[in-house]
Amino acid sequence: MSKTVRLRKGLDIRLIGIANKVKTEAKVPKTVSIRPADFHGMTPKMLLKEGEQVKVGDIVFQDKYSDTIKYASPVNGTLKAIVRGAKRKIEEIVISADATQSFDGGTPIDHSSLSGEEIKNTMLAAGLWPFVRQRPLDVVADPKNEPKAIFVSAFDSSPLAPDFDFVLHGKAKEFQAGLDALAKLTSGKVHLTLNGKSPADAAFKDAKGVQINTIVGKHPAGNVGTQIHHVDPINKGEFVWTLNAQDVAIIGRYFLTGTYNAKRTIALTGSEIKDPQYFETIIGANVADILDGKITTDNVRIISGNVLTGNKIDQDGYLGFYHNQITVIPEGDQLKFFLTKGWFGPGFDKFSNSRLFPTFLSTKKKFRLDTNLNGEERAFVVTGELDKVFPFDILPMQLVKAAITNDIDGMENLGIYEMAPEDFALCEYVCTSKIDIQDKIRQGLDVIAEECM
């Protein structure tokens, strides 16, 4: 019983620098790093000390308050440093990787003979669990809860996103094994949602044991949040788990080979990248080698993830745990004279969801956008603009206001349980008043986590 969903609302931000479909094996990174900040709300408890040897799949730390959730090392090497910030908070765990990496030597695990509980325990023990995220709250799933469904999106619609059909081509077996394992974790269904705009790769199209849905529309059609809302929405007290398609393959690989092989194909994208293309690398890899000689201009912003939801990183920063791409765009820290490039200019270089710039007449032109706010923060004035890019039956501005005012009843009633900050990324993009909406929603979710969960 598959579902087809058509979205009328949304926005595809057309940027220059989409990756060519060429895949290169990146060099083994000198260091990899795990950042606890990638797992919102998690406090790590270290199980290894600086200087100790680690093998791939060894548990490096666990969640202090939910100690069954463990985090594994993606490489063989030495624990180089535990970087601490204010109040000795662990900000980053750096592992220096051996020059050659081997992922052999595991014994395959027959997932078909395991029960759901056993699969769960295997995944927890192997450090695979952090790949599973839950709604509400958009955090690493709590293994104690029973999800009513599991959602995997077969495509990413965000700007310059990697093409999953290309990335997972030929990995159908691993992907299917991952889906099989996940199917045992829920009494409900595993939903795999395809892009209705283009034919899907065999890995997705021929997936078994899942409900295959199709969604047609602009971004955020590829976000799991949108898909959940239109296929099987979350109500208070219910849980839905979500996974990134590449991570399903990593889980499948673990069951097929018995080792934690956190290899991921990422897209190196953005207007400031010479010859954007795909790289195969490891989660948490230092991106310095990948970026070496690729950046065409000075003064750029390097983002792990996409331009809407990613994190700013340094030139020798690390690929985020959940990220499938690196984006490099120009930094916008220049004054812009109002008649030429500024607020009253003709605006041929501006991309806007409003029709206030002549570029709205073109539906093809691609843009080189920088990180300038293009204005200053104001109170909410313009109404209705958020609705245009928000394909949910939820009132976005009212929900954001409820989040800003810590109005718990309001947030519950207006549908915060279905929401993740990434669902509001486009709202944040189009907001005339330049309010940091994703951050406000995250703060709202934190209040809900504290008071209602």
Partner 1 sequence: MKFLENIVNKMEPKFSKGGKLEKWNPVYESFITLAFTPKHTTKLGSHIRDGVDLKRTMITVIIAMVPALLFGMYNTGHYEMVAASGNLDLAYGAMFWDKVLAGAAVVVPLIIVSYGVGLGIEFIFAMRRGHPLHEGFLVSGMLIPLVMPADVPLWMVGVATAFAVIIGKEIFGGTGMNILNVALTSRAFLFFAYPTSMSGDKVWMSGLTENLGKVKDAKEANPEVVTQLAENLDGFSGATPLGDLASFMTPDAVLKGENIEAGANAMEKFTSEYSLYDSFMGFIPGSIGETSTLAILIGAAILLITGVGSLRIIASFFAGGFLMGVILNAAGGPYLDLPPVYHLVLGGFAFGAVFMATDPVSAAQTANGKIIYGLLGGMMAILIRVLNPAYPEGVMLAILFMNVMAPIIDHYVIAANIKKRLKRVKQA
Q: Scanning residues 282 to 301, which ones bind partner 1 (CB under 8 A)? A: 301
Select from 40, 114, 342, 408 the one that contacts partner 1 (CB under 8 A).
342
Among 116, 188, 233, 258, binds partner 1 (CB under 8 A): 233
User: Quick check: 222 and 156 in contact, CB under 8 A?
Assistant: yes
d(CA 73, CA 245): 20
Alpha-carbon dihedral sign for residues 199, 204, 208, 214: negative
Q: Cβ–Cβ contacts within 10 Å for residue 278, how many? A: 23
b/e burial code for range 47-67 (CB count within 10 A of at least 16 → b): ebeeeeebebbbebbbbeeee
Site for partner 1 in 41-100 (CB under 8 A): none
Cα–Cα nearest to 12, from 389, 329, 319? 389
Dihedral sign of CA atoms 354, 355, 359, 362 in order: positive
Q: What's CA 163's distance to the chain center, in Å?
A: 14
User: Pick from 352, 404, 446, 449: which binds partner 1 (CB under 8 A)?
Assistant: 352
Q: What's the min distance (Å) between Cβ of 437 and partner 1? A: 7
Q: Which is nearer to partner 1, 289 or 412 (CB)?
A: 412
Considering only residues 112 to 131 of the shown chain, the ones binding partner 1 according to CB under 8 A are none
- Bridge-based pairing of strands 90-97 and 77-84 is antiparallel
SS3 state at 315: coil
Which of 83, 216, 356, 453 lies at the binding interface for partner 1 (CB under 8 A)? Answer: 356
Give the one residue of 307, 326, 420, 445 binding partner 1; rule: CB under 8 A.
307
Applying the rule CB under 8 A, the residues between 140 and 159 that interact with partner 1 are: 159
Q: Which is nearer to partner 1, 293 or 384 (CB)?
A: 384
Tokens matching residue 147 = 């999800």
Residue 28 CA to residue 33 CA, distance in Å, equals: 13
Rounded to whole angstroms, the Cα distance separating 202 from 170 reads 8
Residue 110 is a binding residue for partner 1 (CB under 8 A): no
Q: Which is nearer to partner 1, 341 or 366 (CB)?
A: 341
- CB 53, min distance to partner 1, A: 38
383 lies in the binding site for partner 1 (CB under 8 A): yes
Nearest to 114 by CA among 100, 103, 126, 99: 126
Q: How far is the CB of 431 from partner 1 (least distance, A)?
A: 7
Question: Where in 6-35 is the site for partner 1 (CB under 8 A)?
Answer: 13, 15
Selected binder of partner 1 within 374, 446, 447, 452 (CB under 8 A) = 374
Please list every residue from 308 through 337 that binds partner 1, using CB under 8 A: 308-310, 312, 327, 329, 331-337
Least spacing, CB of residue 7 vs partner 1, in Å = 16
Residue 288 or 395: which CB sits closer to partner 1? 395
- Binding to partner 1 (CB under 8 A) within 413-452 occurs at 413-415, 421, 425, 428-434, 436-439
Min dist. Cβ of residue 90 to partner 1 (A): 22
Q: Tell me which residues in 201-230 interact with partner 1 (CB under 8 A).
A: none
What is the β-pairing status of strands 4-6 and 211-216?
parallel
# residues near partner 1 by CB under 8 A: 74
Q: Is residue 284 a contact partner of residue 318, using CB atoms and an 8 Å limit? A: yes
Smaller CB separation from partner 1, 68 or 296: 296
Q: How far apart, in Å, are the Cα atoms of 149 and each of 176, 192, 227, 369, 386?
A: 17, 11, 12, 38, 29
Helix (H) or strand (E) run with residue 46 in it? strand 44-46
Which residues on adjacent β-strands are paired with residue 303? Answer: 312, 327
Our finding on whether 371 is near partner 1 (CB under 8 A) is yes
Using CB under 8 A as the binding rule, whether residue 245 contacts partner 1 is answered as no
Q: Output the smallest distance, CB 263 to partner 1, in A.
A: 26
Residue 40 in the binding site for partner 1 (CB under 8 A): no
CA distance 96 to 75: 9
CB 71 within 8 A of CB 62: yes
Q: Which is nearer to partner 1, 285 or 369 (CB)?
A: 369
In the bound complex, what is the minimum distance in angstroms from residue 305's beta carbon to partner 1?
9
Q: 160-172 burial, b if ≥16 CB within 10 A, otherwise e?
A: bbbbbbebbeebb
397 binding partner 1? (CB under 8 A): yes
Q: Work out which of 351, 400, 403, 445 binds partner 1, going by CB under 8 A.
A: 351
